[in-house]
Structure 1
Amino acid sequence: MEKMISTTWKQLGVAEPLLDKLEENGIAEPTPIQAQALPILLSGRSLMAQSQTGTGKTLAYLLPVLQRIDASSNAVQAVVLSPTQELAMQIVRVAEAYGEPLGVRSLGLIGGASLKRQVERLKKHPQLVVGTPGRIHELLNMRKLKLGQTATVIVDEADQVFQLGSVKEVETILWATRKDRQLAFFSATRPPQMAGVESRWMKDAATVQVAPENVVSETIDHYYLISERRDKTDIVRRLVRLLNPRSALLFVNDTNNIANWEAKLSYEGFAVETLYGDADKQRRAATLARFRDGRCQLLLATDVAARGIDIESLPLVINIDPPVDADHYVHRAGRTGRMGKPGTVVSIVTTQERFIMDKFRKALHIELPEKAMYRGKLIDPAAAREGSRARFGTGRSGAVAGEARDGSGQAGAKLRNAGAKSGKTGGPAYGGTNAMETGSHAKSGSAGSQAIRVDGTKPEAASRQARTRSGASAAGEHAAGGSRSGRVPSAKAKAAREKNKKDKGAPKWLKAKRENAEKH
């Protein structure tokens, strides 16, 4: 790992015109990646640089590249390769701004734009070409682009460039440049397969790794929510309403699902735009312009489509589908929290996908807790469950209270039994009056019956309704053989009960036969 050798632009060897431009843009001090990469690239040495997203990698390679270009020559002296159209055009804008005081002409060559127009612009002899591997390779095969005097090749987001199947195209471009060219790979991650590419194309290359233990900005808060797959639309809706961000970038893994998500979120009342990797330049530019100026709140994209997007002060990233690996998580999270600004990343996963969050936590050394939405806040799931129990009367304590209120369950059964055994004691809790009255009447009005036997008269205080209920209950007790009152059933009652058992379910002709036999 290279050590930082200076802390000021001038000490790093930046030319005076570029110093004025940096001061004009309010960039007073270099970032760690800039301070370490600049001297190496200015010396002409090849470089493999790794630094987290949003740390200023673009200026780290553009400043030395622009400074080493001979503005008096009409040859293409430097090429910058980018995995996406949007990232390429962002680099072009920076190159134009900082190349102007040096007299360096820059040109963007990307797929989706007019090929004929790009051929015409090549006639103006740009010294720096920035583009996607596919379009540069196409122009190279058409012999419209000549790289014989190209001394520097920068591959930005190198891991993604080689992962997207552009290896042959990149190799063709490299073979077309000078043999003693300078080659530099810049990326936020460095997958193992990149080692083979580096060893093949780089000789005596320096390596710069800035804070590899914190590949994700420390100003970003990371959370995840558990959801059933069918409920993700509702979870996203509630989450956006809860956090209410000025803008949010939403990631899905499958391009085929973007239109479906756009329809669902539009139906919920959100202003939504989509970003496809194969969309043409004009559509992508228009979509990002509407997103940047706030005309749409939500932007749906895939990993490829969103690679290199630079949205100033983007507050929120939502992973509708979890990233396929830790490197993709880094690139998604890097859309927010750029240059030390705060940001939030929320992933929505199913129970079966929870292990993915554990892998990211360990691999990236970040805090990635589970959260739940409850009463307008993102809180710990256990606290949300406790709050839900207390609010809706669920759980053990709530169940007991509910059982007592409606007279069901063990607590309610005790109240009913107490009322049934003795109609004398009274006020049960939570509507136990009915249980007491029912017990009293089912007992054939035990207290009332005893009063009749003692003085030989009916109590005048008893209402007609009470007498009717008591009589009905007594009749029921008698029909049942007095089992509820605890008296020994008579022989007649037993016979009636046996008859009822035999007749239950018997055909009509058999019942009629039994009745005739009893009569005779």
Structure 2
Amino acid sequence: MTKFSDFGLSKELEKAVFNMGFEEPSPIQAQAIPIALSGKDMIGQAQTGTGKTTAFGVPLLEKLEVNEGIQGLVVCPTRELAVQVAEELNRIGQVKGIRALPIYGGQDISRQIRALKNRPQVIVATPGRLIDHIERKTIRLGSIKMVVLDEADEMLNMGFVEDIERILAETPKEKQTMLFSATMPKRIQNLAERFMKEPEIVKVKAKEMTVTNIEQYYVEAHEKQKFDVLCSLLDIQTPELAIVFGRTKKRVDEVVDGLIKRGYSAEGIHGDIPQGKRDQVIRRFKEASIDIMVATDVAARGLDISGVSHVYNFDIPQDPESYVHRIGRTGRAGKTGKAITFVSAREIDHLKIIENMTKKKMSKMPIPTTHDVLAGNQQAAVNQLRETIESNNYQEYKRLAETLLEDTDSVSLLAAALKIITKEPDATPVRLTAVEPLRSRKPKAEFDRKRRSNDRGGRSFDKSRSRDRDRRRGKNRQGNERSN
């Protein structure tokens, strides 16, 4: 199994990749990074969402120097992609001190000119706005060491080929060029022949990915809301066994710590945990000694555990293959399962890429309300009573019940018992409008978990309060623009 540490990266880049939580490169990364590091021109044929940004970002940032101005150029078809790529490059380059600046139409050009005075090492630009800067001489490409053309076929479809040719003509002849495209139409091939020197070709075929027996949902939530939403869904849905996927090792540790503090029975697995400990956690999960396991993609690879009813993607995976691998932990052996993915407003486009490749649309699930959570706890209390009756493990309480019934009618007595089990606050009465059929659960463990959760009063995972949510909620970016 190839690891990022096998690429011989500088300490700064290796640390940045480690901090991002990447343990194993995707197929396009495993093939493209060594070629790019060797200095050769390269054509990568791969679908969006396969990890292309890291595939060219790591070798690009490895070659750049901190104090030499603009040395790297990435050309993208849309403003959304330019922003996304720049953010990813800044994460990869943060330890080394390399900065990327997005340049796109629709944003005030004077603001971009001011940002350029901070001497970023990488420009990530849409073609039209980049040409505006070239003509104004606010961006000069004479020191470019590497050019990346991202989603070249999309730029062709949008009519940007002439602009790309003009941009490439402004760059030095002695440079490295990388081109990424999902398809290879003739005009893209002609472009490669004109501006690239004996490029190596890397192809990653998109897998046919279909998912059956799994109900798929997404919840749109701000980063600061996600942990509270997760806890609410756990209380409402009462999963038999649940796996929560986090993007990084640090995230897994944070989520496990938060769940334990809320009273949930949870443990985590990731690459920094010794194999013996991982095996122990998996065994405890299989035996239902714990009912929530939090994991990174690599640590959960190959898991075959029956009875997983729910998968929660706390962080949306970086590529569709990882998504299919994650949610495939549920819905096994002919059973149905549920998969819920948390996304921010800016991640909706990436969610659509996953939907296109899995050929299945996810249903939007609203953020649970306090009413929903309390109703879920009430349902759990009903299930608790029914299971106790079925187990016939209440004989010693019969005489006490008969004594109480001498003074109180049975409906009032049962209602009071349900209220006590549910721990419903007096100020927020919620009617249980329907009682679902009895489900098989571990009654005491479930009841204790919910009781401890309620007793803690729903404190936020990161100590942020709900009053910040509306004020800080992001807005979806608008459509594609070539220039202002």
TM-score grouping bracket, smaller chain normalisation: 0.3 to 0.5
Instruction: From the two aligned structures, give the one with the greater helix fraction.
Output: 1
Report the TM-score when normalising by structure 2. 0.46
Which structure has more RCO (C-alpha within 8 Å, separation ≥ 6)? 2
Report the TM-score when normalising by structure 1. 0.43
